[in-house]
Structure 1
């Protein structure tokens, strides 16, 4: 019988990261969902994890888990090589993870995998959060986009680095004061985002009034690979409604629909993607209704299990 060895550290050794990335790619292909999120995974190669676990069998990497800050919470992700599943590796990693991290912890299951649900139940974790992934096609051959009217005295323009950070922070933090990750953004956060290779200020759309005051925004992104390739059937670049926010003072003016459609047109016509995805809290009924009216349908769900 093969022996599972789990090693614990505060961060992953740089030498194991390429092997771990390859393992995650195999899991993504097998499950139809990436095991690590774009939001949490940067903490791993960046060395800002709270704990990092690697599981090996006969010296070969078979799985991994890690925990890191995600907004105002401590969250975790776990992956087991598809070729090594049903051998108790996932249970061993989760048990060691829970032992290494005291107090509240949110453990993500991307794609709501049944095995993850069973594993969470065995370890007494509660299903505490559902993050819906919605999608729609854009461009030729897809459902035409609506054309909501732009409110009077409002115009759209692109984000200008070095000029718009403070205004964006004020509107974002007011719009997402309730959100565990998106609320409480700082100047360092937006500057770090601007420094990322894929940052596109032209696709970061702002709604401003005649006085130049920021009323809302739609920050779009383009990902080179679909995080859910098996479910989609292809693995090609995909657009994302990354963050959409409207100042509480500007609610009721239809800006959410205007900004969403403007971003979708940009992604279809300028970024030339054929599919756009977005993530929305399962209990945010108003946002779900808005996106469904704009042609989005449910594609997948990510679940966070909580140990409090």
Structure 2
């Protein structure tokens, strides 16, 4: 068992993941964890081969304050015990607490988790709704509150303070750093005009809605769409600003931007399954359940 993949293996794993995505309709690796494979920051790296072909892979990497793992088996080589072998080797190599993701709640993952005594510990819901230009009302902002766009080079520190306070309970989003936001600003899809800030008369940040646009549906096989898709990437409200209706207003404002300016017709978002207040907020705004990602946990 290695701790990192070679550059050639990263290329092979990317192709393997695409074969699995085409077969399953959902990507086997997450956008926030898989970059560790290319950067060499993985804690474990394992591949399985049939001749010269990579037919299975597993890896683990830090995800927020946790160690998380993902694995995939080539669709042509499933039901041959490869998934179980990869998982067993991963569990043997790593000690302590480990979280393992199943994107789309794959039935094979359910069986493996049961076999190895893993706890179904977290559900990440994917909700979606359709939007149309001119169909959304003006957001109802509290008195003295206005919206403006995020300004790179000016708003990073303030955003970090509010984000980390709003998501202090969250294992990934609550521990953002200045390097994280600056890295996000250099990504091809970063759009500061769609990163909406709610500020008071003194320009004090009260909440934000960071939207994204994906050129293609990341889950086309799960009733997806063959068109660009918008995302409620992160929506947060400063703890001291709760109870003023900012969450709903920011949701509407971001949806209006995605529909009227970015021009998408479908919007997706991810929300913790046990975050009842957030789920109800999004359901009030017309979102319905589309898919679920499940994290299984091995206790420390």
TM-score tier (shorter): over 0.9
Written as runs of structure 1 = structure 2, the 5 A alignment for 1:151-166 is 151-166=142-157
Contact 2:128-2:268 at 8 Å conserved across structures:
yes
CA–CA separation in structure 2 for the residues paired with 1:235 and 1:12: 33
Pairwise CA distance, 1:253: 0.8
Q: Is 2:134 the partner of 1:128?
A: no
Q: Match of 2:76?
A: 83
CA–CA separation in structure 1 for the residues paired with 2:99 and 2:224: 30
Q: TM-score, normalised by structure 1?
A: 0.94
Q: Is 2:237 the partner of 1:246?
A: yes
CA–CA separation in structure 2 for the residues paired with 1:176 and 1:233: 29
CA–CA separation in structure 1 for the residues paired with 2:57 and 2:110: 18
Q: Match of 2:169?
A: 178
Q: Match of 2:287?
A: 296
Look up the SS of the partner of 2:221 in the other structure: helix
CA–CA separation in structure 2 for the residues paired with 1:204 and 1:232: 28
Contact 2:217-2:224 at 8 Å conserved across structures:
no
Contact 2:216-2:228 at 8 Å conserved across structures:
yes
Q: Match of 2:264?
A: 273
CA–CA separation in structure 2 for the residues paired with 1:206 and 1:288: 21
Contact 1:107-1:305 at 8 Å conserved across structures:
yes
Pairwise CA distance, 1:197: 1.6
**Which sections of structure 1, spanning at least 5 residues, go unmatched?**
1-7
Q: Match of 1:31?
A: 24
Pairwise CA distance, 1:168: 0.3
Look up the SS of the partner of 2:164 in the other structure: helix
Look up the SS of the partner of 2:271 in the other structure: strand
Q: Match of 1:112?
A: 105
Contact 1:146-1:294 at 8 Å conserved across structures:
no
CA–CA separation in structure 2 for the residues paired with 1:100 and 1:194: 36
Contact 1:33-1:229 at 8 Å conserved across structures:
yes
- Give the paired residue count: 299
Pairwise CA distance, 1:235: 3.5
Look up the SS of the partner of 2:247 in the other structure: helix
Q: TM-score, normalised by structure 2?
A: 0.97
Pairwise CA distance, 1:307: 0.3
CA–CA separation in structure 2 for the residues paired with 1:218 and 1:162: 18
Pairwise CA distance, 1:222: 1.2
CA–CA separation in structure 2 for the residues paired with 1:95 and 1:238: 37
Q: Match of 1:41?
A: 34
Q: Match of 2:252?
A: 261
Q: Match of 1:4?
A: none
Q: Match of 1:5?
A: none
CA–CA separation in structure 1 for the residues paired with 2:265 and 2:223: 12
**Which sections of structure 2, spanning at least 5 residues, go unmatched?**
none
Pairwise CA distance, 1:13: 1.0
Written as runs of structure 1 = structure 2, the 5 A alignment for 1:145-224 is 145-224=136-215
